């Protein structure tokens, strides 16, 4: 729920604000809100003094799922970046910090030094036209040629500028097959060129939450610091007992989450049409003693992929709090945006307890290798 305030501005400040909003394309409300959040962030960061096991940065931060994971392992987040203003609102409400905006405009030199870089970057195709031309001319190409114009390029340039001890990158499972495998090939070549020993695995969140959710994790360690004579394994420890859908459901969800007759009839007809055509498309009623399909950012549209049966009535969609639980967020996590934005945010987020386990593996490996470096 937004609150209204009225403020008085000197003429010169108002003119400067108007000029800025005209050139930036932002509304006055967005500029003022962002400025206030940044001011409060700076004050809170200055007041905090943390004893941290390690430092990390949170890129493409979303609503902070990765931040929770790495903080649970004793880390101190020294920088965050997220361009979506609604995600920024949620991030600020939960961490008291306003993430930086457009990463393509961030000078890597201003980012604080850190031990681990964390990024859930978007999956984008790489243009190979320019690379092919250079190769035909016998000229070598590097990550700056291959990844230019993509957001992964910004991850690479920050790694190159700051040389963290390690990084963890997260993406959808299909990253490996995206653009006929070219996208993943370029990513691995680029990280190798940056002189990092890289490991990757596809992990399923259903070991931690009642949701089938496969994601690829790419972990790298600085060869300049640690060499390459070591191994890293994704030896995660699944939760016991295995979580079930009934564990995350609210006892008395609001009736507004029940599907209308019109929507429920539409979904049934849509499913029947595709069933007759031999397709598997359609709604999904979640088994309370089982796991759900993958929660997606489109869940706000109709909730069809994960519906909850209701005795004597139409099924309902999950509430935003149930979506948060399905991703492993604690109930203390504040949801401060509309239902539509909350569904998008949790649908785009990570399985927090899974990421917490992997973060622990990375930190333990760094402790081990730093210890060996000290002994030698």
Does 376 score more than 60 pLDDT?
no
Q: Over the range 318-327, which residues count as b (16 or more CB within 10 Å of their CB) and which as e?
A: bbbbbbbbbb
What residue ranges in 60-165 does DSSP mark as E strands? 75-81, 116-119
Instruction: Tell me what pLDDT residue 162 has.
Output: 98
Determine the average pLDDT of the residues in 278-297. Answer: 89
Instruction: Tell me what pLDDT residue 51 has.
Output: 78
Could you tell me the two tokens for 283? 């709604």
**Residue whose token pair is 């031990």:** 115
User: pLDDT tens digits for 131-160?
Assistant: 444 444 444 446 566 776 688 999 999 999
In this predicted structure, which of 88-97, 179-188, 304-313, 317-326 has the lowest mean pLDDT?
179-188
Instruction: Tell me what pLDDT residue 144 has.
Output: 67
Phi-psi region of 240 (alpha: psi -120 to 50; beta: other; left: phi over 0): beta
CA atoms within 13 A on the CB side of 277: 10
Determine the average pLDDT of the residues in 183-191. Answer: 92
Alpha carbons 237 and 357: distance in angstroms, whole number:
7
Alpha carbons 289 and 312: distance in angstroms, whole number:
20
300: buried, middle or exposed (CB in 10 Å: 19+, 13-18, 0-12)?
A: buried
Could you tell me the two tokens for 22? 């005209």
CA atoms within 13 A on the CB side of 222: 18
Instruction: Tell me what pLDDT residue 141 has.
Output: 43
In this predicted structure, which of 3-12, 54-63, 89-98, 352-361 has the lowest mean pLDDT?
3-12
**Residue whose token pair is 């049934």:** 268
Could you tell me the two tokens for 243? 């979580």
Determine the average pLDDT of the residues in 8-29. Answer: 62
Cα–chain center distance at 204: 16
Alpha carbons 1 and 148: distance in angstroms, whole number:
40
Instruction: Tell me what pLDDT residue 347 has.
Output: 96
Domains of the chain: 51-238+351-375 (3.40.50.150), 245-347 (3.90.120.10)
Alpha carbons 221 and 230: distance in angstroms, whole number:
10
User: pLDDT tens digits for 5-16?
Assistant: 666 655 554 655
306: nearest Cα among 325, 283, 290? 283
3-state secondary structure of 55: strand
3-state secondary structure of 78: strand
Residues carrying an active site annotation: 123
Instruction: Tell me what pLDDT residue 22 has.
Output: 67
Starting at the edge strand found earlier in the chain, the sheet holding 54-59 runs 75-81, 54-59, 116-119, 166-172, 214-222, 196-204
The dihedral formed by the CA atoms of 141, 145, 150 and 153, expressed in degrees to the nearest 10: 80
Q: 40 pLDDT band (50/70/90 cuts)?
A: low
Could you tell me the two tokens for 333? 């996590």
3-state secondary structure of 220: strand
Determine the average pLDDT of the residues in 100-104. Answer: 93
Q: 41 pLDDT band (50/70/90 cuts)?
A: very low
Q: What is the value of pTM for the model shown?
A: 0.82
Q: Please, what is the average pLDDT of the chain?
A: 86
Instruction: Tell me what pLDDT residue 291 has.
Output: 96
Instruction: Tell me what pLDDT residue 1 has.
Output: 53
Instruction: Tell me what pLDDT residue 179 has.
Output: 85
**Residue whose token pair is 């941290």:** 52
């Amino acid at each position: 729920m937004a609150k209204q305030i009225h403020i008085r501005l000197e003429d010169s400040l108002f003119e400067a604000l108007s000029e800025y909003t005209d050139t930036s394309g932002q509304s006055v409300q967005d500029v003022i809100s962002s400025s206030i959040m940044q001011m409060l962030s700076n004050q809170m960061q200055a007041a905090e003094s943390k004893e941290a096991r390690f430092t990390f940065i949170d890129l493409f931060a979303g609503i902070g799922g990765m931040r929770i994971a790495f903080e649970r392992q004793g880390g101190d987040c020294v920088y965050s970046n997220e361009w979506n203003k609604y995600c920024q609102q949620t991030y600020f409400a939960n961490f008291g910090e306003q993430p930086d905006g457009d990463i393509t405009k961030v000078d890597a030199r201003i980012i604080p030094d850190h031990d681990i870089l964390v990024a859930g970057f978007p999956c984008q195709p790489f243009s190979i036209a320019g690379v092919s031309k250079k190769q035909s001319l016998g000229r070598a190409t590097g990550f700056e040629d291959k990844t230019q114009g993509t957001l992964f390029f910004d991850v690479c340039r920050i790694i190159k500028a700051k040389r963290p001890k390690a990084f963890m990158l997260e993406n959808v499972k299909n990253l490996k097959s995206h653009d006929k495998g070219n996208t993943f090939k370029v990513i691995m070549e680029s990280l190798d060129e940056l002189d990092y020993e890289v490991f990757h695995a596809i992990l399923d969140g259903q070991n931690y939450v009642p949701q089938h959710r496969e994601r690829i994790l790419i972990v790298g360690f600085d060869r300049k610091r640690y060499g390459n004579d070591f191994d890293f394994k994704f030896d995660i420890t699944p939760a016991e007992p295995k979580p079930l859908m009934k564990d995350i459901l609210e006892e008395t969800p609001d009736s507004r989450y029940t599907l209308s007759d019109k929507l429920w009839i539409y979904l049934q007809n849509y499913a029947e049409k595709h069933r007759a055509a031999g397709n598997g498309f359609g709604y999904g009623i979640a088994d309370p003693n089982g796991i759900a399909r993958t929660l997606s950012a489109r869940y706000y549209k109709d909730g069809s992929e994960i519906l909850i049966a209701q005795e004597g009535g139409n099924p309902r969609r999950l509430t935003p709090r149930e979506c948060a639980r399905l991703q492993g967020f604690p109930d203390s996590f504040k949801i401060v945006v509309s239902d539509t934005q909350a569904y998008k945010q949790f649908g785009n987020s990570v399985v927090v307890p899974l990421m917490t386990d992997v973060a622990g593996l990375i930190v333990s490996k760094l402790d081990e290798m730093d210890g060996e470096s000290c002994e030698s």
